[in-house]
Amino acid sequence: MHSVSGEDISVCVCLSILTSLFDDEGIFDEGKSFNQTRITKLEMRRRLVFICKFASNARPSRGNLKQVFSFLSGGSVDLV
């Protein structure tokens, strides 16, 4: 599902994956750094800015961002 304005769920999915499975330098670490730190709104914003460098029309809704933050601040990543 994609909208012309960029307000779509795919940006939030990318943000969730980037935040939970990659470290601060963008290296895949299977969630190790995510499990060792606590996600902040500032950290989420920093990663959203990173996404926007590649998808300049990415404009996720505030409600979707709040849901992503709520999801990410409540758990840890356990890859099997």
pLDDT digits (tens, 9 = 90+) for 24-74: 888 999 989 888 888 899 999 999 999 999 988 888 999 889 989 999 988
Would the pTM count as exceeding 0.85?
no
Angle between helix 41-54 and 9-21 (nearest 10): 120
Which two structure tokens, joined as six digits, stand for 33?
Answer: 């750094």
**1: pLDDT strictly greater than 50:** no
Chain-centre distance for alpha carbon 13: 7
Q: Which amino acid is at 1?
A: M
Cβ contact 20:68 at 8 Å: no
pLDDT for residue 57: 85
Residues 6+ apart with CB under 8 A from 8: 1, 2, 60
